[in-house]
Amino acid sequence: MSAPYDQRTVAELASNVVNEFTKLISNEMAIARAELSAKATEAALGAGFLVGGALLLIPAMVLLLMALAAWLVELGLSASVANLLAGVVGLLISGALAYIGKTKLSPEHLKPKHTMREIERDIAAAKDTTR
């Protein structure tokens, strides 16, 4: 059984290809906008949590480090050495928290991975159809 003969002209076929390609690009742009919007919301939320956590963490950390220094003094260390050790512990904890926050806001984490994969698939499909 033979396939039905397509009566469209080359110009009509070319026009259809251009229209379909335009729709594809438009759809990909809409998906990219949606994903970027979601990533921006995620970044804002991450920044908000960082700020909120930092504001609530500061007084708690001060009290805990003061208690650590007092405990070290009770164990027999001089006050200056106890305060120094408590300060180092505070620096280590704040450094770890800052690293986690920085990781959440990194460009790699915020990159629209789904959209990038879709665009790469579309490019590959377009290359296959032009061969």
The proportion of the chain whose per-residue pLDDT surpasses 90, expressed as a percent, equals 21
**99 in a structural domain:** yes
Question: What are 33's two structure tokens?
Answer: 């906008």
Q: Check residues 57 and 68 and name the one with the higher pLDDT.
A: 68
SS3 content of the chain, % helix, strand, coil (to 5): 85, 0, 15
- 130: Cα within 13 Å, side-chain hemisphere: 9
Question: What are 59's two structure tokens?
Answer: 């007084």
Band the pLDDT of 66: cuts 50, 70, 90.
very high
pLDDT reported for residue 82: 93
**2 in a structural domain:** no
pLDDT reported for residue 2: 58
- How many domains in the chain? 1
Which sign, positive or negative, has the C-alpha torsion 17, 22, 27, 32? positive
Band the pLDDT of 84: cuts 50, 70, 90.
very high
**4 in a structural domain:** no
**Domain with 28 in it:** 10-130
pLDDT at 27 over 90: no
**86 in a structural domain:** yes
